[in-house]
Amino acid sequence: MIAAMNYKPPLESSSSNNSKINASVIWLHGLGADGYDFEPIVQKLDLPNVRFILPHAPDMAVTRNSGYIMPAWYDLYGLTGNSQEDESGIATSQKYVNALIQHELNRGVASERIVLAGFSQGGAIALHTAIRYPEKLGGILALSTYLPLNTKLTTEVHRANAGIPIFMAHGVFDEVISLEMCKRSLNILQHNHYAVNWHEYNMAHSVCVDEINDIRLFLKHVLLQDLVE
């Protein structure tokens, strides 16, 4: 469980000056990484007028990794459908991401032009947070991840994001989060009428060039990029 948090200021990246920013992507890294992990990828996306927010998870002891202290969005006990989940830690990260969203709203970005993105554990928080958020968001990028606390889906989701576009991608050779586990989450989302743009890639627990290209197309679509460049 995550105790008192000390969050470092998020990294920010954009290819436009601040006066032209009209969309934001909040992108959460995976377990043991930091906000710099996806900086090269967002630079490759080269999307004008979009601000990428790359937060850093706080350090904490991770049970699955023998209590080793590392950046984590919540404690992890296992990665099977029956594993215990850190509900309190997930809720803490959800509140933090909600605060990041509010900061973008305060800067003048409309909620429907804010996308939550994440890889692995960060993707789990992006999914968990976005479908519960009380204002319409632009979309979700869920990369090599799964839906946490899925048994609470029907009682906790908010109708404001019932139709949110979801880009969900996974590597067929992923040995960290199995393709089977990810597909279980996919099926749950689809059963609850979420529109999921599903992609599989010949990769392990990582990101590949084809995936980056597909992410660019998804973001351009949900942010109506061609209309605002």
34 as an active site residue: the answer is: no
**In whole angstroms, what is the distance from residue 39 CA to residue 154 CA?**
34
Q: Residues 120, 144, 170, 185: which is the catalytic one?
A: 120
Q: Which of 205, 206, 214, 221 is catalytic?
A: 205
The rounded distance, in Å, linking the Cα atoms of 195 and 166 is 6
- Paired sense of beta strands 11-13 and 50-54, if any: antiparallel
Residues 115, 198: contact at Cβ < 8 Å?
no
Q: How far is CA 128 from CA 49, 100, 168, in A?
A: 26, 15, 13
Strand partners, 70: 60
Number of neighbours of residue 170 by Cβ within 10 angstroms: 28
Active site residue 120: yes
Task: For residue 135, give every residue at least 6 positions away whose Cβ sits within 8 Å of its Cβ, in sequence order, or none.
Answer: 111, 160
For the question of residue 205 being annotated catalytic, the response is yes
User: Are the CB atoms for 23 and 113 separated by under 8 Å?
Assistant: yes
The residues assigned a catalytic role are: 120, 174, 205
